[in-house]
Structure 1
Amino acid sequence: MTEDPGSVAATTSDYSEYYDNINNYGAPCNNGNTKEFSRVFLPTLYSIVFILGFIGNGLVVWVLIRYRQKSNMTDVCLFNLALSDLLFLLSLPFWAHSAMEQWIFGSFLCHTITGLFMLGLYGSIFFMVLMTVDRYVVIVHAHSIFSRNRSTKMGLVLASVVWVLSLFASLPNIIFAKVKNETSKTSCGSEFPVDAWKSFTYLKMNFLSLIIPLIIMSFCYSRIIPTLLSIKSQKRHKVIRLILAVVAVYFVFWTPYNFVMFLMYLQMKGHLNTCEWHTSLSLAMQWVETIALSHCCLNPIIYAFAGQKFRRAVLKVLKEQFPLCFSQCATLSRQLSERRSSVFTKSTEYSSTQIA
């Protein structure tokens, strides 16, 4: 039995098994509209995600490398989070081309691109969890030995552990990746030897991308927020809003994907096995998968640009690299400010004359 990586573990594909499936009554379930929608929709959305995500995460990596001498554990986590996003962003042009035409890149790249995507995907999720745990230690256990030993070296050790875990989580998809020659096109997908592997991959994605992160992040933030509320600081409300935004955005983007993934698991077990369900799930997977992938575009904004220290570092680097642009922008801003001041002065004088 074959399975596309997109329908198992968030990699993109042609969803061919849903176009030509058989329902409980033995009738062919072939939906050409769904297939055509995939050819147009997926390449467009993946291209947008690739461009926006590459710019944002590339800027994060660039700035953190420039200021690596001043790095701490948080910076190490940010760097690896951005690197994870870049890894699976690099695979999107290949999946976009495959969805639009067919897979022309051979068996070796099928394994490689699947590996890049899965490694980046799990790495991104695991590093977000690591950053949550790091915040928990710093805020809730501020005087513990773990909080005092948050060095760059410790960050590198933990980052190495996360990458190893991401690799192990990705191995089934990497090992069973295969170029499949079908009647209409050639595709790169996962072909599992037994159904047990297929079921395991569905459930693994649900647990590792939603259930376990939900448990860990809910526990950590349930302790972080009361601790912040007990601190008399004007910044606490801003920090709490940022925390809630991080959690809300993550689960808004990933819950629909995992819900559809679970429905596909039920379908594989013999439930919901009708043409209507096959068509609906194939369309739904294309939407929710793209929504989940686009979360990588928000990671730089949520985790990096929200911090004043990082924003200043970004502006400093950009000013060093593009001094002419910033000088022109500063001149334009000063001119606009002078015009507004002049208009305000004239308006005040006119009002004073009218009142007099």
Structure 2
Amino acid sequence: MNISNDTTTYPPYEYDDNYGDGGYEPCSNSNNNSVNAVVGPYIHSIICILGLVGNSLVILTYALYKRTKSMTDVYLLNVAIADLLFVLALPFIVYNELYSWPMGQVACKLLRGSYSVNLYSGMLMLACISTDRYIAIVQARRSFRLRSLSNSRIICALIWIFALLVSVPTFHFYHWYQPSHNAVTWISNITDQEETTDPQYVCEWKFDDSNTASRVKVAVPSTQLAIGFFLPLLIMIFCYTAVIVTLQKAKNFQRHKAVRVVMVVVLVFIVCHLPYNLALLYQTVHLYVQSDCVEVDSLQTAMSVLQTVAYLHCCLNPVLYAFIGVKFRNHFRRIFRDLWCLGKRYIGPRRFSRVTSDTFMSTIRRSVDGSSENGTSFTM
């Protein structure tokens, strides 16, 4: 996390997390820059493509249904929306980290703020999915009263509002500006005239005073750790542990298969997010500890790699929570097959009329809706 202060606070350079030896001389961070040169354009591009395709397919599949079937389906849809918005914002964030930010103040705030909102909402939705599975399996007698579509929609709305409120500091303190250490003035030995390089603007943290910077630089990552990782992790561990214990008592092959699915879900979540969040915790605790440039470079390199691993989770969510379910796969195959047949009819010698096309699409939706079994969930 690259955090800068106003030029009036620490002349001639802003105090930055990337500055070592007292905080006033910029470190080169050669290793981190080399890693970002590969991770940014290539690895993140793969993540964006996979996340875009997977989450778009989930949303498309749900869009072809007349009604949502269960609470888990509502949560899955919102997770897919959050992940899709995240992968759409990721290319702009990578570009900002590698180059100058050309899009101005409003785009800067919207980009960083939406990233924060999607982060919190997506993680909390995963916690809601685990809670819903806990109620459906462990508290089966109460599930009919607690698991209603109206409740799930209210919960999702509250989560999005809460994520927006928690992200207010990000919206407020991110600014589009030219750092003072980028406004370099060169003096020619021959002409003694000043030559200024082209301005390089960034979309980063900016504060009016050091006290505000100190508070925000600790509060924001601490909130991200507490609400964006440890709270969902604890909820998932508690709920899925109880689910596994309950399923182990059942003498049924499908239930034992569901146990393996639960274990994979939790394991992937931990592998993707735990390393980066531990590194973020270390960085926050040692934020004001004096470090040399080598140590800062090593930490930033590790953060870049581990953050990319965490980003992979948005690509895996559609597989873990949607496509792994037999019913969801069947519905998706049916929709894909019907749309393929529809496309073949359009490009064939006998083209559909508008009325015929509408009738065909209505038949698709009826067949898909009719194939659902009493509103059961796609997962497990």
Q: Name which of 177, 183, 205 aligns with 1:190.
A: 205
Q: Is contact 1:88-1:118 (8 Å) kept? A: no
Q: TM-score, normalised by structure 1?
A: 0.82
2:186 paired with 1:177: no
Give the Cα–Cα distance (whole angstroms) in 2 for the partners of residues 68 and 208 of structure 1.
Answer: 34
> What's the counterpart of residue 122 of structure 2?
124
Closer, same or farther in 2 for the Cα pair 1:111/1:27, shift >3 Å? closer
> What's the counterpart of residue 59 of structure 1?
57
SS in 2 for 1:189: strand
Give the Cα–Cα distance (whole angstroms) in 2 for the partners of residues 83 and 167 of structure 1.
Answer: 15
Q: Is contact 1:103-1:187 (8 Å) kept? A: yes
- Deviation of residue 325 (structure 1)? 9.1
2:320 paired with 1:302: yes
> What's the counterpart of residue 12 of structure 2?
none
Q: Is contact 2:83-2:122 (8 Å) kept? A: yes
- Deviation of residue 326 (structure 1)? 10
Tell me how many residue pairs correspond in the alignment: 313
Give the Cα–Cα distance (whole angstroms) in 1 for the partners of residues 118 and 152 of structure 2.
Answer: 18
Q: Is contact 1:126-1:162 (8 Å) kept? A: yes
The amino acid across from 2:203 in the alignment is C
Give the Cα–Cα distance (whole angstroms) in 2 for the partners of residues 69 and 26 of structure 1.
Answer: 58
2:161 paired with 1:161: no
Closer, same or farther in 2 for the Cα pair 1:237/1:109, shift >3 Å? same
Give the Cα–Cα distance (whole angstroms) in 1 for the partners of residues 68 and 23 of structure 2.
Answer: 65
Q: Which moved more, 1:313-322 or 1:201-210?
A: 201-210
Closer, same or farther in 2 for the Cα pair 1:25/1:72, shift >3 Å? closer
- Deviation of residue 134 (structure 1)? 0.4
Closer, same or farther in 2 for the Cα pair 1:288/1:151, shift >3 Å? same
- Deviation of residue 289 (structure 1)? 0.9
Give the Cα–Cα distance (whole angstroms) in 1 for the partners of residues 213 and 16 of structure 2.
Answer: 16
Give the Cα–Cα distance (whole angstroms) in 2 for the partners of residues 236 and 287 of structure 1.
Answer: 37
2:300 paired with 1:282: yes
Closer, same or farther in 2 for the Cα pair 1:229/1:40, shift >3 Å? closer
2:269 paired with 1:250: yes
Q: Is contact 2:221-2:284 (8 Å) kept? A: yes
Q: Is contact 2:127-2:233 (8 Å) kept? A: no
SS in 1 for 2:102: coil
SS in 1 for 2:176: strand
- Deviation of residue 46 (structure 1)? 1.8
Q: Is contact 1:78-1:304 (8 Å) kept? A: yes
2:260 paired with 1:235: no
Runs of 4+ aligned residues of structure 1 deviating over 6 Å after TM superposition are: 324-327
- Deviation of residue 242 (structure 1)? 0.5
Closer, same or farther in 2 for the Cα pair 1:194/1:242, shift >3 Å? same
- Deviation of residue 261 (structure 1)? 0.5
Q: TM-score, normalised by structure 2?
A: 0.77
1:184-203 Cα shifts (integer Å, max 9, x gaps):
43211122433111111121
> What's the counterpart of residue 201 of structure 1?
220
Q: Structure 1: where are the runs of 5+ without partners? A: 5-15, 328-356
Q: Is contact 1:256-1:288 (8 Å) kept? A: yes
